Structure 1
Amino acid sequence: MPTLSLAMVAALAGCATSQPVTQIDKDTYLLVASSRWHGNDGVAAQGLQQADDWCRQQGRRARIIGSERSEGVIGVMPPKVMLSFKCDLVRQ
């Protein structure tokens, strides 16, 4: 999973929205995020951060296993990202 600084994620993810995380298999989840005012990179950063935040609430780390993007047109049709992920145990 790409590593982004928290400040960069926050800057890119502003004004973005996402649907609730959905369980699609026993240990696999789906997150869909979009933004009217940020490009594909901002939406992707927001989705990565939200997936990891969701897993961290369970004491785990997100591992992205698949993604799809739609470019959209900024201000007209928002770009979207769909992430499928698993929550792995944190190894110490």
Structure 2
Amino acid sequence: MKMKTALAALTMLAACPTVSDVTPAGDGRYTVTTQVRGGMTAWGEVKASSLKRADDYCRQQGKQMHQVELQTHGVRGWTPQEAELTFSCASS
């Protein structure tokens, strides 16, 4: 019984992030959003997922990612955590 309770608690703590596709935001800018539901994911990890997706997107074009704005929403462990990144891709 204790083992099942421990496994259930670990499952809740190990929430997986969902990262959106990159979408155009106008004026050469793009957005990408990472959302984590449940668990106690560190904000650094949530933000890093959006930054990685943006960096990969720009690198595929042979460009460098430049962060324009990064907003976070939610309360860790209480409501879904969300990091919304606005970025641009510039020539290296």
Q: Scaled by the length of structure 2, what TM-score is found?
A: 0.73
Q: Deviations over 1:23-77 (max 9, x none)?
A: 0113100111112342321100111111101111111111001111013232x52
Structure 1: gaps of 5 or more residues: 1-13
Q: After the TM superposition, which segments of 4 or more aligned residues of structure 1 sit over 2 Å from their partners?
A: 71-74
Which deviates further from its counterpart, 35-44 or 48-57?
A: 35-44
How many residues are aligned here?
A: 76
Paired with 1:26 and 1:57, the residues of 2 have a C-alpha distance of 20
Query: 2:53 aligned with 1:50, yes or no?
Result: yes
What residue in structure 1 maps to residue 85 of structure 2? Answer: 83
Paired with 2:35 and 2:44, the residues of 1 have a C-alpha distance of 11
Paired with 1:24 and 1:55, the residues of 2 have a C-alpha distance of 15
Structure 1 segment 1-92 matched on structure 2, within 5 A: 15-36=16-37, 37=39, 38-74=41-77, 76-90=78-92
- The structure whose residues are more often helix, as a share, is 2
Q: Scaled by the length of structure 1, what TM-score is found?
A: 0.73
The alignment yields a C-alpha RMSD, in angstroms, of 1.7
Structure 2: gaps of 5 or more residues: 1-14
